[in-house]
C-alpha cells in the first residue's frame, strides 16, 4: 500500500517551511537594538583632546586678550565645539590692567570661538587696586568674547565690599564693568 500526497500540498508545505526558515534567519540577524536611534553621547566623536592645556590669545597690537587654562579639553568632530573641564579664563578688556577671572566646573566653546558657555559653580571676579574685589557666582553663564559681554538667566550672587546682592538674570559689559540685573533683585548692606 502506497500513500500518495497530492503534489500541490507537498509544494505548499515546502514553500511554508522555506518562508519560516527565512523569517527565523532574518530575525536572528536583525536585533531590535539596531533600530534604536543613537543618543548624543554615542554620536559624539572627538578628534583630539588635550590635558592641562594653556591657551593665550593676542590682539593685533600683540597684547594679551585672554589666557585659558583647563584640566581637559575635548574637540568634537560633528559641530567643531570644544568641551572643557575646570576652565579658568583670564579676560583682559579695555584699559583695565586687572583682568576678569572666569572659572567653572565645565565649559563649552563653539567652533568659531564666538560663544563660551560655562556651567556649574561659575565664578567671575575682578580685583582692582582702587576698589574692593567684586565676586559674582551663578550656575551658568554665556560669554561672548568678541562683544566683551556676558549674560545669564540663572540666579546670581554678587559680593562686593560689605554688601551681598542677589538677582535672577544678569547682563555684564566687561569693557567698563557695567552690570545690569534683570529681576528679583535683593540686597543686604552692612553699614558702619
27-78: pLDDT as tens digits: 666 655 555 554 555 456 788 888 998 988 887 888 888 888 999 999 888 8
Look at residue 171 and tell me whether its pLDDT is greater than 80: yes
What's residue 42's pLDDT? 47
For the chain, the straight-line distance linking the first and the last C-alpha, in angstroms and rounded, comes to 121
Residue of 145, 97, 99, 96 lying closest to 118 (CA atoms): 145
For the record, the C-alpha cell of 134 comes out as: 567684586
Of the candidates 70, 102, 63, 97, the one whose C-alpha atom is nearest the C-alpha of residue 85 is 70
Topology of domain 40-189 in CATH is lipopolysaccharide transport protein A fold (2.60.450)
All cell numbers assigned to 19: 518562508
- The position carrying cell 597684547 is 63
Q: From the CB of residue 83, how many other CB atoms can be counted at a distance below 10 Å? A: 19
At residue 50, the pLDDT reads 87
Task: Give the tens place of pLDDT for each residue, 78-118.
Answer: 888 889 999 998 887 766 667 888 899 999 988 887 888 99
Residue 178 has pLDDT above 50, yes or no: yes
Q: What is the pLDDT of residue 31?
A: 57
pLDDT number for residue 79: 86
pLDDT above 80: residue 122:
yes
pLDDT digits (tens, 9 = 90+) for 3-27: 677 777 778 888 888 888 777 776 6
Amino acid at each position: 500500500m502506497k500513500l500518495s500526497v497530492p503534489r500541490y500540498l507537498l509544494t505548499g508545505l515546502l514553500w511554508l517551511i522555506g518562508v519560516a526558515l527565512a523569517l527565523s534567519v532574518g530575525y536572528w540577524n536583525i536585533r531590535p537594538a539596531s533600530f534604536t536611534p543613537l543618543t548624543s553621547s554615542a554620536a559624539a566623536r572627538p578628534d583630539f583632546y588635550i590635558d592641562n592645556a594653556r591657551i593665550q590669545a593676542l590682539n593685533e597690537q600683540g597684547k594679551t586678550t585672554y589666557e585659558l587654562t583647563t584640566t581637559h579639553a575635548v574637540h568634537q568632530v560633528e559641530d567643531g565645539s570644544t568641551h572643557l573641564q575646570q576652565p579658568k579664563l583670564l579676560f583682559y578688556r579695555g584699559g583695565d590692567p586687572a583682568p576678569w577671572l572666569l572659572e567653572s566646573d565645565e565649559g563649552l566653546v563653539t567652533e568659531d570661538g564666538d560663544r563660551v558657555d560655562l556651567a556649574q559653580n561659575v565664578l567671575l571676579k575682578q580685583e582692582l587696586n582702587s576698589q574692593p574685589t567684586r565676586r559674582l557666582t551663578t550656575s551658568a553663564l554665556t560669554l561672548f568674547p568678541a562683544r566683551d559681554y556676558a549674560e545669564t538667566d540663572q540666579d546670581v550672587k554678587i559680593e562686593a565690599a560689605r554688601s551681598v546682592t542677589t538677582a535672577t538674570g544678569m547682563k555684564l559689559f566687561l569693557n567698563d564693568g557695567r552690570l545690569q540685573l534683570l529681576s528679583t533683585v535683593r540686597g543686604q548692606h552692612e553699614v558702619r
